[in-house]
Structure 1
Amino acid sequence: MGSTVIAIPDREDVAPKEKKKFRDFFLPIISFVREVDSKYDLRKLIHSIKVGVALVSVSLLYLLDPLYKQVGENAMWAIMTVVVIFEFYAGATLSKGLNRGIGTILGGGLGCLAAAFAQDVGGIGNSIVVGTSVFISGAAATYIRLVPRIKKRYEYGAMIFILTFNLVVVSGLRAEEVMQLARERLTTIVMGFVICIFISLLVFPIWAGDELHDSLTSKFEHLARSIEGCLEEYFKVDTDKENRPGFSFSSCKSVLHSKAKDESLANFARWEPWHGKFRLSYPWKKYLKIGEVLRDMAANVLSVKGCLQYPRQSLQNLRASIKEPCEIVGSSLAWALRELGESIKKMNKCETAAFIMPKLKSIRHELNLIITPSALAGVEKSTDALELASFVFSLMEMVDKVEELTKEVEELGGLAGFRANSK
């Protein structure tokens, strides 16, 4: 009778399998952590945790019997308040919370008066008073919320006013019961608001002002690199263009498309209290003005993109003849932008501002010499002369924008109280 030999794996064979199972178990967790760290940003994770804590805190009004006996079903309004007003930035949370509070108080108060007056009229006049008051308040509040200045900061409050007024007036309850119901709901809304503000402002706050400040200073560096890269691409020879990839305008385009984000951050920043280096009534409008000039300059840089697509040999020679002065211009513009951006970033007065303006004037003089009629007389083709003139005029536009930026940054330093550089 033959015997069957069964191979028994030793420890060395088993260990790799166990390691593989262990690795496969934790691989999704590790990949998730990496994704959170790289893609979503740590601040978004913190915000999500803060919202969860706020919801748990406000849910205690339902979970704890002593609190539930005090507020009853009105605890739902506290939970709704947390869900609605808790935003990513502290300024946005404060803005929506105050808008909701003001809209609720005004809408509830006027709604109670209208309901009481309708009850006093009685009969068919009750319905007429309710309908008329709803029409007047809804139409007036809607018109006001469409005004641009009101829409930016108080649109949510106007919407809450309309909603609260209609709910109170159309409820049909007696005036005493309306007042009691409004008081109970307002109390729970205030509870939700206080919890949101406490967690948003005191627990790892995320400030819109800091975001706007960092975003603005980064734009100076983006444009400086774009100018340097654009000039490098412009003066490449054909062999270099074949061996190396072309210049990317992605950072410049991000500056150009930043208007909506800047305006939103500035609106939230105006609501924020004194924090860190940003005091009350900080000149955020000046940030928007500087951002507008930077976007204009980004458009000028992008306009040079068409000048980069001329591979003819005649243009290569022509470009080589103006390479040195243009590179001096580009390096000077990049230097000026970095100095201005560093001044805003560190909130120091730009010590080199006195040198920037004279240097820009000398740069403009050098550019004027490049496109004089005598300098363009030797150009054989009119298209070549047009391309050269277009490129130089774009550089001159950039010089003008840097001059404007220098003035705006100096004004910002005066309004914001930038300190003198300690160097």
Structure 2
Amino acid sequence: MESSHVISIANEEDNNNNDNNIAQMKNETNTHLEKNKNLSFVPITSNPKDKNNKQIKSDHDIKKMVHSIKVGISLVLVSLLYILNPLFDQVGENAMWAIMTVVVISEFNAGATLGKGLNRGIGTIVGGGLGCLAAIFAQSIGGVGNSIFIGTSVYIFGSVATYFRLVPKIKNRYDYGVVVFMLTFNLVVVSGARPGVKVWELARERLLNILMGFIIAICVNLFVFPLWASDELHDSIVSRFHNLANTIQGCLEECSKTVKENQPDTSFTVCKSVLNSKSKDESLANFAKWEPWHGKFGFSYPWQKYLKIGEVIRELAALILALERCFQASKKITASLKQPKKVQLEQCEAIGSRIVWTLREVGDSMKQMRKCEGRDNTIDKLKTTREELSLVISTSMIEEFENGEMLPIASLVFLLMEVVEKVGELVIEVGELQDMAGFRTR
């Protein structure tokens, strides 16, 4: 149901009320900031984004080095099957399958490695088992029927497996397993076409070597400085609350400054990166589902809710990008505005400050994994804020729309109303996550 915008008729009494509303909103914001000193605004001139980006890049470089060292350790351990004569006598040339397994399944995150390893193991077992049965049955037929049966079975299983790879749910989590199934089935059934080949022994040896490679890769990945996809997804979602809050704050600070020629605009690269985060979120959520119970994340954790929160954040980032032009256009006409119009613009700035505080408060509650205090009260305040915004535009403003002077401020007001509504939706989604995940109350 679409919301209606209320347009009030301004008079002197309304202007006095507007002054009182602005003072009240500023007092509320200052009170919140006093109670939460760690949430105080960071001046945009201190370039907090640059510092954060450097810290994130440094941490990511360290994680890349750790992952590289872990893969090297895994390869050394699995190569012992080839290097040490007692082990080589047991596994023989099939040790190459163990090395291939370590190379293929070693991924950056523990969840990705575990998921890929399990897919490879299940695909090998199912493909090898069906391949052995098909090869043995083909050998029992003999003659031309042997080749016909093998060709038919390869065609049927290959076609069916390829069809399943196109199913979205299977492709997202089990695509690699289906590929390994096709490869293993074809190798085993075709190898069994030759007389004298012991199909069961061939499949058993390859499965054992793949299992050894899988155990080595998983143990190193899980027990040597593990890198969890769940931690990365959680931290990534939390950081976006503060990044978007900093972006809105930068808009407010620039809007209150005197316009100068060639004055640099606020950087909105954060919003653009948020808009491009969907594929990364989906990959991390998929990997996180494979991970065992660790740290603050248990089994059946609501990762799907994280994806929903990420979607709402992307919608909010798109609105903030649209706000950029409105803020820039609004501050260019601020100097020529009369006092009543400045009051209306100050109202927008006060409401923007309230939005910034809400985003930071919700982001901090997610970071600390605690329930947001006064969640219902926050939602009620956002509804009240939206009603206050609907009263900002007066008929006196509409009379000036003919020359287009006040259009930027009017657009700013309507966009702020949408931002407030989207922030309210975000508060509700985070509240549902807190209930589903069992966040602590304090």
In structure 2, distance between residues paired with 1:294 and 1:324? 26
Q: Which residue of 1 aligns with 2:241?
A: 220
Q: Which residue of 1 aligns with 2:278?
A: 259
Is 2:344 the counterpart of 1:322? yes
Structure 2 stretches lacking a partner, 5+ long: 1-53
**Distance verdict in 2 for CA 1:349–1:385, change over 3 Å:** same
**Identical residues among aligned pairs (%):** 59
In structure 2, distance between residues paired with 1:412 and 1:174? 60
Alignment of 1:312-391 (within 5 A): 314=333, 316-318=335-337, 320-372=342-394, 374-379=395-400, 381-391=402-412
Q: Which residue of 1 aligns with 2:422?
A: 401
Q: Where do 4+ consecutive residues of structure 1 move more than 4 Å?
A: 34-37, 311-316
Alignment of 1:8-407 (within 5 A): 38=58, 41-171=61-191, 172-174=193-195, 177-239=198-260, 242=262, 244-310=263-329, 314=333, 316-318=335-337, 320-372=342-394, 374-379=395-400, 381-407=402-428
Aligned letter for 1:273?
P
Equivalent residues of 1:115, 1:175 under 8 A apart = no
Q: CA deviation at 1:104?
A: 0.5
Q: CA deviation at 1:317?
A: 3.4
In structure 2, distance between residues paired with 1:150 and 1:253? 30
In structure 2, distance between residues paired with 1:308 and 1:94? 48
Q: CA deviation at 1:380?
A: 5.3
Aligned letter for 1:189?
I
Q: Which of structures 1 and 2 has the bigger CA Rg?
A: 1
Equivalent residues of 2:78, 2:99 under 8 A apart = yes
Q: Which moved more, 1:344-353 or 1:151-160?
A: 344-353
Q: Which SS does the other structure have where 1:310 is aligned?
A: helix
Q: TM-score, normalised by structure 2?
A: 0.83
Q: CA deviation at 1:379?
A: 2.0
Greater relative CO (CA pairs within 8 A, separation 6+):
2
Equivalent residues of 2:259, 2:331 under 8 A apart = no
Aligned letter for 2:112?
A
**Distance verdict in 2 for CA 1:231–1:315, change over 3 Å:** same
Q: CA deviation at 1:282?
A: 0.4
In structure 1, distance between residues paired with 2:296 and 2:139? 55
Q: TM-score, normalised by structure 1?
A: 0.87
Q: Deviations over 1:231-267 (max 9, x none)?
A: 333343323x54x421110112121111111111000
**Distance verdict in 2 for CA 1:265–1:311, change over 3 Å:** closer
**Distance verdict in 2 for CA 1:395–1:37, change over 3 Å:** closer
Aligned letter for 1:69?
D
Q: Deviations over 1:81-136 (max 9, x none)?
A: 00000111000000000000000011110011111111111111111111111111
Q: Deviations over 1:145-169 (max 9, x none)?
A: 1111111000000000111111111
Q: CA deviation at 1:180?
A: 0.3
Q: CA deviation at 1:406?
A: 1.0
